């Protein structure tokens, strides 16, 4: 099932399938460690459309909700 | 002389490497975005001297904020690059490494945080990595100095490999995948207590209570340490000093020199706060009133910075700070601004857009009280009771929130979202904390003392030439009619431009009621920044935005002062 990382349950893990957006967005995400094929875990989701915290490669990263909505994840085959 | 530039991702230890290579200390902290400007230092090896430059961290050579722009600019000037990479996060760090190699400048790679890589079970085959990148790779631990003799010895081997050709993004990431597959082995890591604390402090339900406890503990610590230093060290010192200045006063006799050095005698005695002489108030204010709190604040801040808690706080406050047209990272400049507004305004460089930077800088200057302002508030109102002190800070908080909301509406431009790496919690090293605190204390003394002296001098001159009465007369309608203060308070506001803390001695003798003093101190903090902050805002924002910010501050002071008169004085 394909879904944005923001739809995961807190604590759950998925694989990043693609980054939906322009060059700038993709570069920014990849630069900070959020890349296709990586396993991503949702650590925290802040209320009132606040940011989410994810863990990739053992590192926590905080990202705004709108950006996070464009990180599309799925379950690996 | 060769220019050697330290390049690397944020928070990989570049500044510690710089301090170690040059012997010049610069601020290093456990969060990305500590360094926002370059620092230069010198080191010798071989026969020549070399210039070493510490640059801000960047994820790529396409800058996304002002700090990263500085890094890219420094890269342009470099003759040799020390690429500092975080060994525990090699894959991501290699992106910048490849970009650097494609630019055809000689590069040497320092694999820093080698100690942490060892602990977390990350194994990197150095020989293979050298073969892949075609440059020297040296493992280092910047904190202990491990690997540094190797690093320096191998500077000569730095090269720009012809084997690495310009690539596009996709090719670069493919190449990185290939390299990592060849050189790195990661043993599976179990969740540790540290991970557990890390998650508890960043989740909303547990994180917010933790943040409140942490902040209140920190504030309590600052005031406790500050008061202790005053009671047991600084006040006793000035008691010892009193007979000395008194004998100087008697020896000088009345006259111009006495006015300047000692100032007015109050009931035949020297009053450290009100006398306004260079050797009395000029020394007492910076050393006995402000310095103790500077020491207290910066030692607590250093511990905070080095643990890595600040990015977590930034995450928790993100939603709130979006109301003010910034994102959560904005809380870091605000925190730094509590010590002194100047480094606070500088730290806004890590925000992405002009709008964010303008709002952050203006809010700091208008409503974030630095230690000198805090000393002033406590110095003036402390003896009347805490309720008055709280009135001032409460008003400042309201001004912060409402100005933030208004500026967010008023200022055009983007407020992009947060995208912040959270560093692992680290145990602060006591020696590093001490060194960092000492560096900031020295900076305070160097910057503040000349202005205190200048302020004292100015007060004396202005009184002598009758300027004070003249100005008081002009501003009387506003000061008296609108703010409900005696017209002599004008001078305090004027001198506040040089040093806010000097105003204590000028407001106290005017016999105002505590509520009038609440209005006066609030106005003093918001109406205008001190010269230092003014200068740095001018540099960071440019003249047009500086004028805008100043107009906003004056307008706010006018409105807030009038409102306070109505509410507090009921007239
Ligand atoms: N364990 C360990 N910690 C280190 C090492 N080098 C630096 N640190 C710590 O890592 C943190 C970041 O160091 P900085 O020197 O501020 O990093 P920077 O690369 O200059 O960061 P920015 O200026 O934000 O780009 C600090 O808390 C240092 O004490 C190291 O080799 N090992
Ligand atoms: Mg640095």
A63 interaction partners in chain B (CB closer than 8 Å): 417-420
**Mean pLDDT of the region B113-126:** 93
Determine what percent of chain B is predicted with pLDDT higher than 70.
Answer: 100
Instruction: Give CA–CA dist B264/B100, Å, rounded.
Output: 64
Residue matched to tokens 């303008």: B358
In terms of Cβ atoms closer than 10 Å to its own Cβ (0-12, 13-18, 19+), residue B1 is exposed
Ligand 1 center–CA B456 separation, angstroms = 41
The predicted structure's pLDDT at residue B344: 94
B74 domain residue, yes or no: yes
Inside any domain, residue B232: yes
pLDDT tens figures, A21-70: 998 899 899 999 999 999 999 999 999 999 999 999 989 999 999 999 99
Which of B142, B144, B421 is the pocket-test mutation for ligand 1 (most atoms within 8 Å of CB)?
A: B142
Same-domain status, B108 and B210: no
| Chain A residues within 8 A of B211 when measuring between CB atoms | none
- Is the CB of A27 inside 8 Å of chain B's CB atoms? yes
Whether B167 and B222 map to the same domain: the answer is no
Q: In this model, does residue B537 exceed pLDDT 70? A: yes
Residues, chain B, total?
Answer: 571
- Cα gap A21→A39, rounded to integer Å: 20
Distance B397 CA to ligand 1 centre (A): 33
For residues B143 and B140, give the distance between their C-alpha atoms in angstroms, rounded to a whole number.
Answer: 9
Same domain? For B456 and B519 the reply is yes
Note whether residue B197 is domain-resident. Answer: no
pLDDT > 80? residue B47: no
Q: What is the mean pLDDT of residues B144-165?
A: 91
Q: Could you report the per-residue pLDDT of B271-291, keeping only the tens digit for each?
A: 898 888 889 988 998 899 889
Residue B122 resides in a domain: yes
Indicate if B260 and B179 belong to the same structural domain: no
Structural domain containing residue A17: 3-74
Q: State which ligand 1 atom lies nearest to the alpha carbon of B27.
A: 16
- Disruptive mutation site among A64, A65, A67, A69 for chain B (greatest number of B CBs within 10 Å): A64
Do B121 and B258 lie in a common domain? no
* pLDDT reported for residue B73: 95
DSSP state of B384: G
**How does residue B97 score in pLDDT terms, banded at 50, 70 and 90?**
very high
Same domain, B337 and B280: yes
For residue B438, what pLDDT band results from cuts at 50, 70 and 90? very high
Q: d(Cα B194, Cα A9) in Å, to the nearest integer? A: 22
> What is the separation of C-alpha B55 from the centre of its chain, rounded to a whole number of angstroms?
17
Burial B273-283 (b: 16+ CB within 10 A, else e): bbbbbbbbbbb
Q: Which of B100-104, B218-222, B242-246, B491-495 shows the lowest mean pLDDT across its residues?
A: B491-495
pLDDT in tens, B323-337: 999 999 999 999 999
Measure A33 CA to nearest chain B CA, in Å: 6
Summarised one tens digit per residue, pLDDT across range B377-398 is 988 898 899 999 999 999 999 9
Burial class (CB in 10 A: 0-12, 13-18, 19+), B484: buried
Q: Please state the domain count of chain B.
A: 2
Handedness of CA B218, B220, B221, B222 (dihedral sign): positive
pLDDT of residue B570: 84
Q: What CATH number is attached to the domain comprising A41?
A: 2.30.30.90
Bridge partners (DSSP) listed for residue A42: A54
- What pLDDT digit, counting tens, does each position of A4-20 carry? 999 999 999 999 999 99
Q: Are strands B265-266 and B269-270 parallel, antiparallel or unpaired?
A: antiparallel
Dihedral Cα B384, B385, B391, B392, nearest 10 deg:
60
Residue B368 included in any domain? yes
Q: Do B177 and B303 belong together in one domain?
A: no
| B324 touches B411 (CB < 8 A) | no
Give B45-99 as a 3 state SS string.
Answer: ECCEEEEEEECCCCCCCCCCCHHHHHHHHHHHHCCEEEEEEEHHHHHHHHHHHHH
d(CA B376, CA B524): 9
B155 and B264: one domain?
Answer: no
Q: Worst-scoring range by mean pLDDT, A5-19, B459-473, B556-570?
A: B459-473
Residue A76 has a pLDDT of 65
Q: What is the DSSP letter of A16?
A: E
* Structural domain total, chain A: 1
Chain B nearest-CA distance from A2, in A, is 23
Q: Cβ contact (<8 Å) for A31 and B59?
A: yes
Contact B92 A65 (CB under 8 A): no
Q: Are B308 and B424 in contact (CB under 8 A)?
A: yes
Residue-range definition of the domain harbouring residue B546? 204-569
Q: Strands B80-86, B107-112: parallel, antiparallel or unpaired by DSSP?
A: parallel
The chain-wide mean pLDDT, for chain B, equals 91
Selecting from A30, A61, A65 the residue whose C-beta is nearest the C-beta of B173 gives A30
Angstroms from A12 CA to nearest CA on chain B: 14
Beta bridge mates, A14:
A40
Per-residue model confidence (pLDDT) at position B556: 94
Confirm whether B525 is domain-assigned: yes
In this prediction, residue B191 carries a pLDDT of 76
Reported pTM: 0.91
Q: Residue A63 has what pLDDT?
A: 97
Nearest to B357 by CA among B542, B109, B520: B542
The answer on B240 and B145 residing in a single domain is no
Task: Give the confidence band of A77 by pLDDT, cuts at 50, 70, 90.
Answer: low
pLDDT at B238: 95
> What ipTM does this complex have?
0.95
Pocket of ligand 1 (CB under 6 A): B 8, 10-16, 28-30, 32-35, 56-57, 112-113, 115-116, 141-143, 306, 426
Contacts of B419 in chain A (CB under 8 A): 28-29, 32, 61-64, 67
Within a domain: residue B372? Answer: yes
Give the sign of the dihedral formed by CA B284, CA B289, CA B290, CA B294: positive
B138 with B222, same domain? Answer: no
Nearest CA distance, A60 vs chain B (angstrom)? 5
Residue B117 has pLDDT above 80, yes or no: yes
Q: What is the mean pLDDT of residues B313-342?
A: 95
Print the SS3 string covering B277-325: CCCCHHHHHHHHHHHHHHHHHHHHHHHHHHHCCHHHHHHHCHHHHHHCC
Same domain, B320 and B427: yes
In total, chain A counts a number of residues equal to: 77
Q: Give the SS3 label for residue B493.
A: helix
CA dihedral of residues B33, B36, B40, B41 (deg, nearest 10): -30
Q: In chain B, how many H helices and how many E strands?
A: 27, 11
R_g over Cα of chain B: 27
Are B459 and B545 in the same domain? yes
pLDDT of B481? 87
């Amino acid at each position: 099932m394909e879904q944005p990382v923001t739809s995961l349950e807190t604590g759950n893990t998925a694989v990043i399938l693609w980054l939906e957006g322009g060059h700038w967005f993709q570069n920014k995400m990849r630069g900070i460690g959020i890349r296709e094929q990586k396993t991503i875990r949702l650590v925290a989701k802040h209320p009132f459309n606040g940011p989410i915290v994810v863990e990739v490669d053992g590192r926590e990263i905080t990202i705004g909700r709108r950006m996070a909505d464009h990180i599309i994840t799925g379950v690996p085959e | 002389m060769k220019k050697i530039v330290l390049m690397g991702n944020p928070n990989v230890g570049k500044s510690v490497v710089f301090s170690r290579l040059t012997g010049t200390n610069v601020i290093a902290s456990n969060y990305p975005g500590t360094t926002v400007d370059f620092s230069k230092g010198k080191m010798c090896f071989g026969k020549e001297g070399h210039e070493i430059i510490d640059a801000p961290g960047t994820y790529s050579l396409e800058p996304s904020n002002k700090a990263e722009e500085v890094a890219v600019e420094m890269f342009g000037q470099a003759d040799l690059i020390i690429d500092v990479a975080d060994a525990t996060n090699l894959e991501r760090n290699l992106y910048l490494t490849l970009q650097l190699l494609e630019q055809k400048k000689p590069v040497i790679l320092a694999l820093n945080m080698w100690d942490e890589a060892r602990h977390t079970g990350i194994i990197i085959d150095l020989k293979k990595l050298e073969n892949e990148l075609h440059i020297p790779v040296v493992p280092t631990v910047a904190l202990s100095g491990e690997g540094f003799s190797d690093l320096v010895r191998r500077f000569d081997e730095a090269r720009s490999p012809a084997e690495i050709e310009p690539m596009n993004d996709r090719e670069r990431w493919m190449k990185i995948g290939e390299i990592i597959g060849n050189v790195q082995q990661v043993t599976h890591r179990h969740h540790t207590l540290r991970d557990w604390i890390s998650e508890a402090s960043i989740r909303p339900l547990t994180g917010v209570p933790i943040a409140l406890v942490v902040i209140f503990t920190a504030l309590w610590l600052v005031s406790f340490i500050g008061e202790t230093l005053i009671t047991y060290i600084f006040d006793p010192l000035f008691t010892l000093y009193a007979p000395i200045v008194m004998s100087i006063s008697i020896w000088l006799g009345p006259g111009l020199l006495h006015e300047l050095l000692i100032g007015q005698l109050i009931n035949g005695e020297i009053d450290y706060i009100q006398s306004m002489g260079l050797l009395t108030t000029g020394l007492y204010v910076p050393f006995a009133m402000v310095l103790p709190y500077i020491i207290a604040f910066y030692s607590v801040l250093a511990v905070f910075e080095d643990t890595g808690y600040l990015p977590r706080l930034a995450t928790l406050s993100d939603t709130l700070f979006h109301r003010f047209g910034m994102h959560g990272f904005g809380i870091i400049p605000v925190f730094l601004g509590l010590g002194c507004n100047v480094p606070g305004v500088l730290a806004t460089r890590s925000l992405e857009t002009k709008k964010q930077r303008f709002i952050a800088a203006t809010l700091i200057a208008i409503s974030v009280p630095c230690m000198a302002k805090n000393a002033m508030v406590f110095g003036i109102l402390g003896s009347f009771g805490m309720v008055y002190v709280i009135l001032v800070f409460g008003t400042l908080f309201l001004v912060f929130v409402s100005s933030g909301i208004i500026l967010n509406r008023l200022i055009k431009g983007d407020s992009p979202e947060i995208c912040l790496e959270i560093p692992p919690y680290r145990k602060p090293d006591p020696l590093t904390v001490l060194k960092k605190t000492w560096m900031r204390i020295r900076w305070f003394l160097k910057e503040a003392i000349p202005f205190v002296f200048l302020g004292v001098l100015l007060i004396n001159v202005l009184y002598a030439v009758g300027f004070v009465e003249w100005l008081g007369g002009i501003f009387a309608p506003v000061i008296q009619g609108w703010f409900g203060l005696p017209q002599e308070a004008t001078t305090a506001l004027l001198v506040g431009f040089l040093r806010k803390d000097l105003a204590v001695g000028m407001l106290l003798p005017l016999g105002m009621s505590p509520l009038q003093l609440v209005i006066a101190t609030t106005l003093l903090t918001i109406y205008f920044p001190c010269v230092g902050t003014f200068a740095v805002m001018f540099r960071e924002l440019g003249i047009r935005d500086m004028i805008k910010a100043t107009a906003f501050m004056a307008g706010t002071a006018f409105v807030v002062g009038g409102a306070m008169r109505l509410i507090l004085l009921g007239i």
